[in-house]
Structure 1
Amino acid sequence: MSRPSFGGGNDLPAVFPDWSPYPDLDSAARAYLRDPDVALEALGGVLNGATVVCFTLERFVNEVNGVWQEVVVCDGSRLVLWHGEDVPPTDGPAGSMTSSLRVVPLSTVTEVGCRRRLSRSPSGQARTDSIDVYLLLSSMDEAGAGDEGAQAPRHDALRFGKTLDDGGAGQIARLEDFARLVASLVGRPTL
């Protein structure tokens, strides 16, 4: 199964290689991301040798901007997020993409939530079909700020999700591990 890429001719697989078997960021990124060198260089400049405690990866193809990629790394005191996204042809030359970085201190994470959807087999055994994770931040969401009819201010949040169709059981488990580890660090003094 494939979906058309943004440029038309080349098809990108709808299901990318599974990164979940790879315990280290470098191997997982190289197995999963289209642009691992761009991501790893950007992350490396911020991590600067810090130990990667946990990470999660996301990649998908959308109808508007082509490939969208994200890496979230926790080094025990911060979340470092890299995001890469193809630029529409009307916004730049063919093959252009954005690469952005965000650093969020763990001290700004006020809440970690994790929701699993379970289904039961005929034998009654529960299986996780999908997982949704959110990290509520103390910063305010700027979306809609200053617009007429804007909603009341709300806290910024980071959201991540995996399903059996989008990532599989391995990536669901890795995202749940990521959420648990971040939750175990939130509210604790940093060294």
Structure 2
Amino acid sequence: MTRSGFGGEMPAVFPDWSPYQDLDSAARAYLRDPDIALDALAGVLRGSTVIAFTLERFVNEVNGVWQEVVVCDGTRLVLWHGEDLPPGDGPPGSMSSSLRVVALSAVTEVGCRRRLTRTATGHPRVDSVDVYLLLSSIDETSVGPNGGSEESATQTVRHDALRFGKTLDDGGAGQIARLEEFARLVSSLVGRPMI
């Protein structure tokens, strides 16, 4: 099964990037538009050493392909996101390409939830992992009636967060392990003084 997109036909099941230890090889194996992603990242990294990364790609029934690369260079996270534009938002085959840089000092919490199942022999097996990085920046805030000046007013503050997930069906055991490795590395750096 294939679907059309920015780069032409693409398989609905993507190759596994987890065996590749370097970003260039992993991106070229997995992303539909690796040159666009790598060029955008290179403009920010400018020779910094990539110490960990994770990749994501899926097909959205409305927009087409959604792709993401998250790189850690020891002091920051550099995120590239590419997404096909929906019909009517540009000429056919149009996509967006965006970058976001987050200082590791802005990460206030790292969480990793594993879902375990038992094999037929009774051994535990990780069949999914969800990772979140809570940031100090505010994603959303709302204030109740009268601007929150009354005691009955409600106020909601939600911090920005980065979320990543892998399952056996979406990525496989190798990508689950690589995402856990990424989370452990970021966790080891959060809260440490940056030199």
C-alpha deviation, 1:123, in angstroms = 1.5
Looking at structure 1, the residues matched to 124 and 110 of structure 2 have their Cα atoms a distance apart, in angstroms, of 23
SS of the counterpart of 1:171? helix
SS in 2 for 1:165: coil
CA distance in 2, matches of 1:11, 1:101: 25
CA deviations on 1:11-68 (whole Å, 9 max, x unpaired) are: 6323200000000000000000000000000000000000001000000001111000
Determine whether 1:116 maps to 2:114.
Answer: yes
Query: How far apart in 2 are the matches of 1:35 and 1:11?
Result: 12
Give the alignment's TM-score, normalised by structure 1: 0.91
Deviation at 1:99, TM superposition (A): 0.2
Query: TM-score scaled by structure 2?
Result: 0.89
**What's the RMSD between the two structures over aligned residues?**
2.1
SS in 2 for 1:23: coil
Q: Residue 63 and residue 3 in structure 1: after superposition, are their counterparts in 2 closer, same or farther (change >3 A)?
A: farther
Give the structure 1 partner of residue 168 of structure 2.
164
Which one of the candidate residues 47, 50, 53 is aligned to 1:52? 50
Q: Give, as a single letter, the amino acid of the residue that structure 2 aligns with 1:50.
A: S
Q: What does residue 153 of structure 1 align with?
A: 157
Q: Name the amino acid aligned to 1:164.
A: L
Answer whether contact 2:5 2:93 (CA < 8 A) is retained. no
Q: Aligned partners of 2:13 and 2:177: how far apart in 1?
A: 17
Judge conservation of contact 2:129–2:165 (CA < 8 Å) in 1: yes
Structure 1 residue 151: deviation in Å? 7.2
> Which runs of at least 4 in structure 1 moved beyond 2 Å after TM superposition?
2-7, 10-14
- Alignment-mate amino acid for residue 125 of structure 2: R
- Report the structure number with the largest CA radius of gyration: 2
Q: Is the alpha carbon distance of 1:79 and 1:65 closer, same or farther for their aligned partners in structure 2, counting shifts above 3 Å?
A: same
**Residues paired across the two proteins, number:** 186
Q: Percent identity?
A: 77
Gaps of at least 5 residues in structure 1 are: none
Matches of 1:25 and 1:46, distance apart in 2: 14
